[in-house]
Amino acid sequence: MTAQYLLKDVRPLGGEPTDVLVAGGLVAAIGPEAGDAAENAPDDLEVIDATGMVLLPGLVDLHTHLREPGREDAETIASGTRAAAAGGFTAVHAMANTTPTQDTAGVVEQVWRLGAQAGWTDVHPVGAVSVGLAGEHLAELGAMADSAARVRVFSDDGKCVHDPVLMRRALEYVKAFDGVVAQHAQEPRLTEGAQMHEGVVSAEIGLAGWPAVAEEAIIARDVLLAEHVGSRLHVCHLSTAGSVEIVRWAKSRGIDVTAEVTPHHLVLTDEEARGYDPVFKVNPPLRTQADVDAVREGLADGTIDIVATDHAPHTREDKDCEWAAAAFGMTGLETALSVVQQTMVDTGRMTWADVARVLSTNPARIGRVEGHGRPIAVGEPANLVLVDPEQRRVVEPERQATASANSPLRGRELPGRVVATFLRGRATVLDGVPQDDPADPRFAAGRVTP
C-alpha cells in the first residue's frame, strides 16, 4: 500500500497556508477537504507539519550530465538522479556526451531504462545532433524520437554545432516531431585554448581568454536560422549580457527561441579564478559582475526562460590538478534551488510562483515532458517538492548524494532546504533525506516499466 501524506499549513507557490493531501499518486485534496479526507485515510497516512514551508511542482532540469554510460567513476544514472531528488527534481534530461554517445535509438533507450530502474526521477535522454558529436553528419534524430525514450531535445552540448548547414538541417528535421535543438553556443575558432572569460582578470592572472563574442555570435546566427526555417531553438547556459540582448531581440521578432541560465552563472564571477582553483573552471566560463547582473535581470523579466543546472560531475583526478589540465564543469543539482532563492527570491526579483515557472513549468514545456510542471491542483500528478525557505545550510560536497564533489559552492551558506520530494505521490526524499531505495517494489506502481 502506497503511503499517503497530509501536508499541514503548507504554502502552495508561496501563497496562503492550507492543507494538501497527497494520495493515489495525485494531489487528492486541498484546503478543508484535505483534512476531511485524511480522517478516513488508512493507517499509512503520514502527517507533515509544513508550517512556513513552500510547496512547488517538482523541479525539471533540462540540462544534466549523468555520465553513464562510460564515466561511471564520476556519476551513474542512479547516483545522479538520487542527487536530483535531493535537490527537489522529479525529472531530468540526460545530456548526450556519454561513451558511447547518445546518438542512436539503442543508447537513448538504455539511458531511459536505467533511469526508470533507478526510480529517483524520470529520466529523459537528450539525443545528439551529430554522430559522435563530431559536427559532420546528422545523428538518427527520427529514430531517437520514435524510440521508447521519445526524445524531443537534441544537443551536442559540450561542443557547438558550428557548421551552419548542419545546424539548419537539424532545425528543419526536428520540426517533424515537435523537437527542439539545444545549442551549446561556442564559436570554436574564437575559443581555441581558452581557459576562462576574456577580460581584466584573465589578463592579470595570465590565463587564455574566452571572449563573450564567441557565445554571442553563435546565438545571433542560430536565432536567424530558426526564424528562417520556422523551428524551435533552445540556447544552453547563456552567460553574457550581450547574449541576453540578442535573445530579447529575437523574442521581440517572434522567433521561437528559449534560453537557460545556470545557477553558477547567477551567483559567481570570473573573480573566482584568481585563486587558480579548477573547481571554478566551467564551460561557458564564469563572467563579469555586469554579466551576472544582466542574466539575473533577463531571468526576472522572462527573456531567459529557465534555470538549468548543467550538473557536470567529475572525479577528483579530473579536477584536483593544475587549471589548464582540469576538466570543465561543476555539480549543481543539490544547490540549484537554494541559489535561485538567494539571488532571485530573497532579493525581491522573483516570487515563488516565478521559481515554479523557471524551474518546473517552462522546462517541462520546452522538453515536452508530460505530468511535470503541472499546477498544484486537485487531480494533478503529485510531482512535488516541499521547501523550507527559512532554513540555512553550509554546502559540504562530500555529504551530497552526487558521486562527485566538484561543487564551486563549498563552504558557502545558502538559504532553503528541500524537506520532501514526491514522484507521483511517492516520497523519494523525506525530512531532507533520500529514501533508499525508491526502486523497491513500493515504488513500482505508477512508474514507467522498462
pLDDT digits (tens, 9 = 90+) for 116-157: 999 999 999 999 999 999 999 999 999 999 999 999 999 999
Identify whether residues 285 and 325 lie together within a single domain.
yes
**What pLDDT, on the 0 to 100 scale, is given for residue 450?**
36
CATH number at residue 72: 3.20.20.140
**H/E element, 224:** helix 212-229
Residues 384 and 299 in one domain: no
Q: Note down the domain range covering 66.
A: 58-366
Do 47 and 192 lie in one domain? The reply is no
Domain annotation covers residue 373: no
Contacts with 271 (C-beta within 8 Å, 6 or more apart), sequence order: 201, 289
Q: Is residue 14 predicted with pLDDT exceeding 60?
A: yes
pLDDT of residue 327 exceeding 60: yes
* CATH number of the domain residue 37 falls in: 2.30.40.10
Tell me which amino acid residue 182 is.
A
Count Cα neighbours of 215 within 13 Å in the Cβ-side half-sphere.
Answer: 29
> DSSP per residue over 316-365, as a string?
HHHHSS-GGGSPP-B--TTTHHHHHIIIIITTTS--HHHHHIIIIIHHHH
Give the mean pLDDT of 158-183. 98
Digit-coded pLDDT (tens) for 359-372:
999 999 999 999 99
Structural domain includes residue 371: no
CA dist 350 and 344 (Å) reads 5
pLDDT at 2: 65
Say yes or no: 149 and 210 in one domain: yes
**What pLDDT score was predicted for residue 442?**
41
**Does residue 264 sit within a domain?**
yes
Question: Which has the closest alpha carbon to 364: 77, 20, 56?
Answer: 56
Chain CA centroid to CA 442, Å:
27
CB atoms within 10 A of CB 166: 17
pLDDT value at 441 more than 70: no
In a domain, 309, yes or no: yes
Q: Is the pLDDT of residue 12 over 80?
A: yes
Any domain includes 404: no
HSE-up of residue 261 (Cα within 13 Å, Cβ side): 34
- Based on the domain organization, do 75 and 46 belong to the same domain? no
Instruction: Dump pLDDT digits (tens) for 25-60.
Output: 999 999 999 987 777 766 689 999 999 999 999 999
Do 325 and 267 have their domain in common?
A: yes
Are residues 160 and 35 part of one domain?
A: no
- As a whole number, the mean pLDDT across the chain is 95
Are 355 and 384 part of one and the same domain? Answer: no
Is there a domain that residue 374 lies in?
A: no
Collect all residues with Cβ–Cβ distance below 8 Å to 228 and sequence separation of at least 6.
168
In a domain, 194, yes or no: yes
Residues 34 and 86 in one domain: no
What was the pLDDT predicted at 37?
75
Q: Which residues are catalytic?
A: 310
Backbone angles phi, psi at 121, to 5 degrees: -145, 165
Q: Does 426 lie in the same domain as 328?
A: no
Please report which confidence band the pLDDT of residue 447 belongs to, taking 50, 70 and 90 as the band edges: very low
- CA atoms of 9 and 34, how far apart (whole Å): 11
Cis bond upstream, residue 277 (ω within 30): no
Domain identity same for 362 and 255: yes
Q: Domain check: are 323 and 424 in the same one?
A: no
- DSSP string of 356-414? HIIIIIHHHHHTT-TTSS--S-TTSB--EEEEEEEEEEE--GGGSSSS----TTTT-EE
Where are the strands (E) in 88-236, listed by range? Answer: 89-94, 122-125, 153-154, 180-183, 196-197, 209-210, 233-235
pLDDT at 358: 98
Closest CA to 8 of 21, 17, 19, 24: 19
Model pLDDT, residue 38: 72
Cα–Cα distance for residue pair 433/308, rounded to 1 Å? 23
Total domains in the fold of the chain: 2
- Confidence class of residue 278 from pLDDT cuts 50, 70 and 90? very high
Give pLDDT, residue 439.
Answer: 60
27-36, 50-59, 99-108, 382-391: least confidently modelled range: 27-36
Q: What are phi and psi of 344, to 5 degrees?
A: -120, -40
Distance CA(433)–CA(219), nearest Å, equals: 40
pLDDT in tens, 186-229: 999 999 999 999 999 999 999 999 999 999 999 999 999 999 99
Q: Is residue 165 part of a domain?
A: yes
pLDDT tens, position by position, 392-439: 999 999 999 999 999 999 999 999 999 999 999 999 999 999 998 666
* C-alpha cell of residue 391: 532554513
